Structure 1
Amino acid sequence: MTPRSHGGPDEGGVPLHDFSSNSNACGPCPQALAAVQEADATCYPDAAYTLLRAQLADFHGVSVSRIVLAGSASEFIFRITALAVQRGARAVWLPPHAYGDYAQAAQAWKLPLLARAEQTQLRWACDPSSPIGAAHAGLDQLAGGGAVCVLDRAYEPLRLSGVLALPDSALQEFWQLWTPNKALGLTGVRAAYVIAPAGTEERVAQLEGLAPSWPVGTHGVAMLQAWTRPEVQTWLANSLATLRDWKARQVALCESLGWTCLPSAANFFCARPALPASLSLEQALSALRAGGIKLRDATSFGLPGQVRLSVMPPAAQDALHNAWQHLDKAP
C-alpha cells in the first residue's frame, strides 16, 4: 500500500496558516458550530437516523429511501468499492488527477485501474475536482453499462464559478456523495451522506448491510442537521462572496511571485511556484512549514512541481508572500 497523503495538521500540529486543506476559510459556520457544541454526546444517535434522513431527503427533494449515511467520504469510498466487488466489479476507472482514497480502496480490493471507463464496473468523478478544481472531461459519458458511478460533490457547495457539468437527467444515474464539513469549516467532524440513484433500493440495502452500527456519531448528526437549515445556507452563500474576493487577491499575489496558476472553479487552485535556484520544491515547502505555513505538494495527485492552495484570508496570503520572498535566505 502506498503512503496516504493528506492536507491539514501533521506531526508538527495545526499550521498557523494552512493552505493545504480545502476547508472554508470563512468558517467555522457559527450556527453549525453551535449545533455541534450543543450535541448531547451522552446518548447514542438513533441507529436508523430517522429524523436526519428525512431532513436530508427534504433538503434535496428526494425520497428518504435514497439517503445513505456514511462515517465520512473516505468511509463511503471504501464501502461502495466493497459493494461493487460483491456485485462482480473487476476494474475501476478514475480521473487522471483525483483524491487518493479512490485508488486506495481499489488497491485494497485488488481491483486494477483501467484507462478506458467502458471497461470498468466502478467509476469515479468529482466536480469541482480535487486538485484541479474543475470538472473532469467526459463526465456526461461515464454512466451506463450497469457500472456503479459515483460523483463526489465535496466541493459543489464551495463552487465559486461555473455550474455542474452534468444535466439533471445524467446526474440521476450517479451516486452523489456529499461532505458538508468542508463548506462549514468543520473538517474535524466526520460525517457524510449519499443520494442514491432512483430505483437502486436493493443496492442501498446491500450498502447498509456493509456498514457498522452508528456510522455517524452524535456530533456528525448535529452538523448534518444544521446543514439543512436556511440560516446555515445563507451563511454559506455569503461566505462564497468573500472567498471570491480572497481568491482573486491570492491568485494575483501568487502571480506576482512568478507562479503559474491554473484556472479553478472552487475555493482552491493549483500553481507551479517559481523556485529559488538553490531550493527544490520539497525543501521550499519544508522551510515554509517550519515557519507555520503549509502548502499541499501536488505530486501525489500526479502533478509534480506543483502545489495546491486553498483560498485563505489576506493575512495568511501576506504571510506566504513574505515568507516566499525570503526563502533563499532561510537557514
Structure 2
Amino acid sequence: MIRPVPHVAAMAPYALADLGGPGTVSMAQHESAFPASPAAIAAGQQAMAGLPLYPDPGWTDLRAAIAEVHGLDPARILCGAGSMELIGCLIRAYAGPGDRVLGTEYGYAFVATASAQVQADYVKAHEVGLTISVDNILTTVTPETRIVFVCNPGNPTGTLVSNAEIIRLRHALPTDVMLVVDQAYAEFSDALHDPAEIFALTDRRDTVVLRTLSKAYGLAGARVGWGYFPLEITTQLRKLLNPNNISIPSQAAATAAMRDQAYMHDVVAKTAELRDRFAEGCRALGLTAPQSHTNFVLLRFASTEQAQLADASLRAAGLLMRGMGGYGLPDCLRATICAPDIMARARDVLKGVLS
C-alpha cells in the first residue's frame, strides 16, 4: 500500500459548504445575489476564442485594472485562483514545523488547513462580541508566531473593526511577524473606511492585504483573488504560485468587472439593502444578528437545538444555510444574501420555527 506522509494522513479535508440535493437553493457559500457585470460576462465569452493558448502568467491587464481602481503599484499585485491560493502560498513560504500561525476565534477556517499542510501550529485569539480583538491577538503572540491573519470584515461573523485598530495591531506586532489582512468582503465596507490606509501598511514590508472578485463582483466561479504585497514577498510567492493559475476567460472577465465600478457599487448597495432588511426581520423574530458588513448575516438562536430545528425546516423548504458548528458556534446559522423572494421564503420558515 502506498502511504501518504504522516502529517497529511492525519489531516481532515477542508470542509466546504453542504450544497444539498437537486432543487435546493444554497444560502451557504457567500455567492452574489446578482449576476456579474454584463461587461464582464461579455469579455469572458469573447475570450473563449483564446482557449488553445496558455493564459498570461503576469495577469497584465487585470493587474493594470486593479492598480488603476485602487491607486496601487501593479508590480506589487499578485493574482491567485481565489484568495485561497494566495493564503496557501503565503503560509508555505513563511511558516513550517515548529512555527505558529495566529488567527482569531472565528477567522477563516482555511488558514488552519493551510497551516496543517506545512506542519505549522494554528492558534486562535479570542474574539469579543464576535469581533476581532487587537488586544487579545497581541497577548496571544509568542516568539514562535510567524504570521497573523485577520479577516476584516469578519467571516463568518460579518463584523468590522476600524482601520485604526488594524493599524494599531500592525504597529504593536513584532517586525518579524507578517500581518495578513484578509479583506474578502471589503467592498461592502470601503465606504466606511478609506482602503488606502490599509494598503499603505504594505509599505512597511511586513504586511499583506488580500481581496477577491468572488463576492461583490459576482465572479466566484471564475476563481480570481488578488493581493497587495511588499516586493520582497512577491518574489517568494511567485516561486509557489501556479504560473498559469487563472484562465484566459477568467482574467478577461475579472478585468472588465474591475473596470465596471459603477455596476459593482450598485450590487453592493442592493445587497446591503436586502441584508439589513432580512437582519431586522430576523431580530424582530427574536434572533440575534450582529451588524453585518458583508453579503451574509450570522443568525444566533436561543439554543443549539433550536438552530438544528431551523436548519431542518429550511432544508425541508428547499433552502440551505450554513451550520456554524465547525466554527464553534453550534447555535448559529449563516445566511448568504440571495434574491428578495429567497430571503422572504427563508424568513417565513424561521418565523414558523420560532413561533
TM-score by length of 1: 0.85
Q: CA separation of 1:23/1:10 partners in 2, compared to 1, >3 Å: closer, same or farther?
A: closer
Distance in 2 of aligned mates of 1:228 and 1:320: 32
Q: Which residue, 63, 68, 73 being the options, matches 1:58? A: 68
Matched, 1:191 2:241: no
| 2:213 is the alignment partner of 1:180 | yes
In structure 2, what is the equivalent of residue 266 of structure 1?
294
- In the alignment, which residue of structure 2 is the partner of 1:286? 312
The reply to whether residue 139 of structure 1 matches residue 147 of structure 2 is: no
Kindly tell me: are residues 314 and 328 of structure 1, through their superposed partners in 2, closer, same or farther at Cα, counting changes over 3 Å?
A: same
Residue 31 in structure 1 maps to residue 31 in structure 2: no
Indicate the residue corresponding to 1:4 in structure 2: 14
Partner of 2:128: none
1:109 to 2:125 alignment:
no
- Quote the Cα distance in structure 1 between the aligned partners of 2:151 and 2:341: 30
Q: 1:53 to 1:314 in 2, by over 3 A?
A: closer
**Residues 33 and 186 in structure 1, CA contact (< 8 A), matched pair in contact too:** no
Verify the 8 A CA contact 1:89 1:121 in the aligned structure 2: no
Tell me how far 1:30 sits from its aligned partner. Answer: 2.2
Find the aligned partners of 1:171 and 1:135 in 2 and give their Cα distance.
20
- 1:305 is matched with which residue? 331
Matching residue of 1:244: 272
Aligned residues between the structures: 319
Q: Distance in 2 between matches of 1:265 and 1:46?
A: 34
> Residue type matched to 1:293 in 2?
L
- Partner of 1:185, secondary structure, is coil
Give, in angstroms, the shift of residue 254 of structure 1. 1.0
Contact kept in structure 2, 1:36 and 1:222, CA below 8 Å: yes
Amino acid at match of 2:110: D
> 1:284 deviation in Å?
3.1
Could you list the runs of 5+ residues in structure 1 that have no partner in the other structure? none
The TM-score normalised by the length of structure 2 is: 0.80
Counterpart residue type for residue 25 of structure 1: A
The CA deviation at 1:89 is: 7.6
- Segment of structure 1 superposing worse, 306-315 or 184-193: 306-315
Query: Partners in 1 of 2:31 and 2:16 — Cα distance?
Result: 13
State the alpha-carbon separation in 2 of the partners of residues 215 and 136 from structure 1. Answer: 32
Structure with a larger share of its residues in helix: 2
Deviations along 1:38-68, one digit per CA (max 9) or x if unpaired, are 2223322123333333333333322232011
Q: Distance in 1 between matches of 2:78 and 2:330?
A: 36
SS of the equivalent of 1:124 reads strand
Q: Provide the rounded CA distance (Å) in 2 between the counterparts of 1:271 and 1:139.
A: 26
Equivalents in 1 of 2:270, 2:182: separation in Å?
Answer: 24
* Equivalent of residue 237 in structure 2, options 185, 207, 210: 207
Q: Where does residue 253 of structure 2 map in the other structure?
A: 223
Counterpart secondary structure, 1:10: coil
The CA distance in 2 between the partners of 1:185 and 1:62, in whole Å, is 23
Q: CA deviation at 1:247?
A: 2.1
Distance 1:270 1:219, change over 3 A: same
| Aligned-pair CA distance for 1:226 | 1.3
The one of 123, 127, 140 aligned to 2:148: 123
> After the TM superposition, which of the residue ranges 286-295 and 70-79 deviates more from structure 2?
286-295
Question: Partner of 1:68: helix, strand, or coil?
Answer: strand
Shift of 1:160: 7.9
C-alpha distance in 2 between matches for 1:31 and 1:214: 24
Q: Percent identity?
A: 24
Partner residue of 1:20?
28
| Mapped contact 2:106–2:155 kept (Cα < 8 A) | yes
